[in-house]
Amino acid sequence: MDVALFLVGLAVCVLAVTALSERLDLPAPLVLIAVGIAVSYIPGMPEIHLQPEIVLLGLLPPLLYSTAIQSSLVDFNVNRRAILLLSVGLVAFTTVGVGAIVHAVLPGISWPASFAIGAVVAPPDAVAATAIGRRIGLPRRVVTILEGESLLNDATALVALGTAATLITHGAGEIKPWEIGLEFVWAAGGGVLVGFAFFIVVAWLRKRITDPVLDTGISFVIPFAAYIAAEQVHASGVIGVVVAGLLLGHKAPVLQTAQSRIAERTNWRTIAYVLENTVFLLIGLQAQWLFSDVGASRLAPARIVGACAATLGGVVLLRMAWVFVARYLLVRPGNDPELGRKPPWQYTFLLGWAGMRGVVTLAAAFIIPAETEYRETLLLVAFTVVAGTLFIQGLTLPMVARWLRAPSPDPMDDALARATILQQASKAGFEELERLEYEDPHGIGDLIRQRIDQRNFAAWERLGTTVDQETPSELYSRIRHAMIDAERKRVLDIRRSGTVASEVVSDVLAMLDVEESMLDVATQGREELKHANRVRRPQGEVCDDLERHPAIETVEEPKCCQCLEEGTHWVALRQCLECGNVACCDSSPRQHATKHFHESTHPVMESAEPEEDWRWCYVHHLTA
């Protein structure tokens, strides 16, 4: 009962502090650590000791899997050199570098013990970097590399730590250098094989499963089963989980039903949200007993403080040195798709500064054998590195990003790309509709075309910049929300009467919920887009028509003359780049710009709205 009460209290505390942090616009991970430290000193509070097995088997697999299934395998592959150099090369470099620092600072400590603490503090956390990075809007390429690095670096660090722990326990004569290399190769290769095997098995099952509840239940088992299976054959459980998650996430659109994908995505987001924030609170809860144990150490306080400070400074400087050497001598990345050129040095600096450590570092420290000299000090060193990097780098990362003027993802870019993709997808759908042979006495084909057009119009409307004008989609959403509220109220009245079976009532309520959620998703981010409008840069592929039709100056006081003649209202205006005709957009009731294209075959138009500078090719369905 005491354990159950503690777990409930832990969950309540995590959710309450996280909600308060979001309300106050504070970084929840850092607030949770501070709260954990404060709570650990409350009189009567039991000591919470993180056990390696709990973290490495209970917390790490689901956190890795939830990140992996949402990561892009394409982006991972594009940045594979940078990711591998950080997750393997930097971990090894940090292990050796920190080992040398600790060996120099602590008198009489052995090299295996020094390398052990080096391996412990080497890997940045899978949660901390991306949680803070996404919150402050780091460039997508930076977040992708940090995410990929944190998915794999734990495997390298745990292999190095295991080797160091064996040397501490049995002596240097027990392990030969070639055995270390062979162990690492098998850990990586075996983990890949186990992860791929799980992908094959689960893919076969998912092709035969249509029940989203059963499908989601299988996904809950995958990370733990893959981790245990890999560890049983002495391979890397971390890599096994990551490979399985990356492949299953990449193939989800062809393996799972739509309902299964939605259910899995929602459930794993919830699990990750709770576990991620719980991890930070648990880190803080270790403070009291760690400081208490160090108080009994035979080392002088100044020596302990020096070891902690030197190690913290070492992990920061070693990472910064490695990322710049790797960037300019080894990686030499290609053009960034968002910038249209090679990533600037600011990206490299952000990669170096975003190396926050987390719960894996603290849990791995307890793997260090109990007979290790100065073990209590090494545990404090690990805690200092975790708390120090999270507070120093985590708190200053937003300021550093602003100082470097690193561009965050532009919501207007995303909205333009979304509308373009939907337009091209619709074109493919219409082509398939023309190829299908069917009898249509009820006009279903026209109804389908109308609904697809409405979907596309809503996507283009999000590019509008008129702040005080309600678009058709916004008007539809507002009216439909009011109607759904009234419909739900009537259904609840019927439920209270008891005249209809509860299962039937639940089905009707679920239908209303689905429609309401679609409305919420469709309008999400509208206000953000209105304030994020800025001069645009070329987007993606450019066709010959776009090359031949550069942007021109928009006419003063643009208006749609046809709308004025017909007595209708436009939503936004577009200008033909061949004849200069100004007409209303596709999200306007009359769609005069598209009608002008069909009448004149002039292929390219541009936005005639203030502060917009994008062009659209009607022929190739491309944007620039």
Higher-confidence residue: 338 or 577?
Answer: 577
- Write the pLDDT tens digit of every residue in 350-361: 888 888 887 778
Query: 287-317 burial, b for 16+ CB within 10 Å, e for fewer?
Result: bbebeeebeeeebeeebbeebbebbbebbbe
Q: Give the pLDDT of residue 43.
A: 84
Question: Is 119:157 a contact under the CB 8 Å cutoff?
Answer: yes
Cβ of 20: how many Cβ atoms within 10 Å?
Answer: 13
pLDDT mean over 228-248:
91
What is the strand order of the sheet 615-617 is part of?
582-584, 573-576, 604-607, 615-617, 622-623
Protein fold of 544-623: Herpes Virus-1 (3.30.40)
pLDDT mean over 453-482:
69
Q: Tokens 């000791």 identify what position?
A: 49
- Write the pLDDT tens digit of every residue in 324-339: 888 777 666 666 555 5
pLDDT mean over 444-449:
78
Cβ of 248: how many Cβ atoms within 10 Å?
Answer: 23
Q: Give the pLDDT of residue 236.
A: 87
Please determine, for residue 462, whether its predicted confidence score (pLDDT) is greater than 70. Answer: no
Question: What span, in angstroms and rounded, lies between the C-alpha atoms of 358 and 399?
Answer: 21
Question: What span, in angstroms and rounded, lies between the C-alpha atoms of 17 and 376?
Answer: 30
Q: Give the pLDDT of residue 178.
A: 62
- Write the pLDDT tens digit of every residue in 99-117: 999 988 988 888 888 899 9
Question: What span, in angstroms and rounded, lies between the C-alpha atoms of 24 and 239?
Answer: 37
Q: Give the pLDDT of residue 379.
A: 87
Among 288-297, 419-428, 531-540, the range scoring the smallest mean pLDDT is 531-540
| DSSP states of 532-556 | S-------S---HHHHHS---PPPS
Question: What span, in angstroms and rounded, lies between the C-alpha atoms of 503 and 248?
Answer: 34
* Domain ranges across the chain: 2-409, 412-531, 544-623
pLDDT mean over 76-101:
89
Question: What span, in angstroms and rounded, lies between the C-alpha atoms of 62 and 256?
Answer: 20
Q: Give the pLDDT of residue 423.
A: 74
Q: Which amino acid is at 503?
A: E
Higher-confidence residue: 208 or 297?
Answer: 208
Higher-confidence residue: 459 or 204?
Answer: 204
Of 13, 142, 160, 148, the C-alpha closest to 86 is 148
* Tokens standing for residue 587: 């999200």
pLDDT mean over 578-586:
86
Please determine, for residue 25, whether its predicted confidence score (pLDDT) is greater than 50. Answer: yes
Q: Give the pLDDT of residue 535.
A: 36
Q: Give the pLDDT of residue 413.
A: 65
* Tokens standing for residue 601: 């075959």
- HSE, side-chain direction, 13 A CA sphere, residue 574: 29
- HSE, side-chain direction, 13 A CA sphere, residue 213: 0
pLDDT mean over 235-243:
90
Backbone angles phi, psi at 35, to 5 degrees: -65, -40
pLDDT mean over 248-260:
86
Among 183-192, 280-289, 312-321, 408-417, the range scoring the smallest mean pLDDT is 408-417
- Write the pLDDT tens digit of every residue in 283-315: 888 888 888 877 777 778 888 889 999 999 999
* Tokens standing for residue 401: 């990003």
| DSSP states of 247-261 | HHHHHHHHHS-HHHH
The two domains 2-409 and 544-623 share their CATH topology (first three levels equal): no
Of 385, 389, 382, 355, the C-alpha closest to 366 is 382
Higher-confidence residue: 414 or 72?
Answer: 72
Question: What span, in angstroms and rounded, lies between the C-alpha atoms of 301 and 616?
Answer: 67
Q: Which residues pair with 151 in a beta bridge?
A: none
Architecture of domain 2-409: Up-down Bundle (1.20)
Average pLDDT across the chain, whole number:
81
Q: Give the pLDDT of residue 173.
A: 54
Question: What span, in angstroms and rounded, lies between the C-alpha atoms of 212 and 546?
Answer: 44
Q: Estimate to the nearest angstrom the gap between the alpha carbon of 160 and the chain centroid.
A: 28
Question: What span, in angstroms and rounded, lies between the C-alpha atoms of 198 and 493?
Answer: 49
Among 114-118, 446-450, 529-533, the range scoring the smallest mean pLDDT is 529-533
Q: Give the pLDDT of residue 220.
A: 92
- Write the pLDDT tens digit of every residue in 126-164: 566 666 666 666 777 788 888 888 888 888 888 888 888
Q: Estimate to the nearest angstrom the gap between the alpha carbon of 358 and the chain centroid.
A: 17
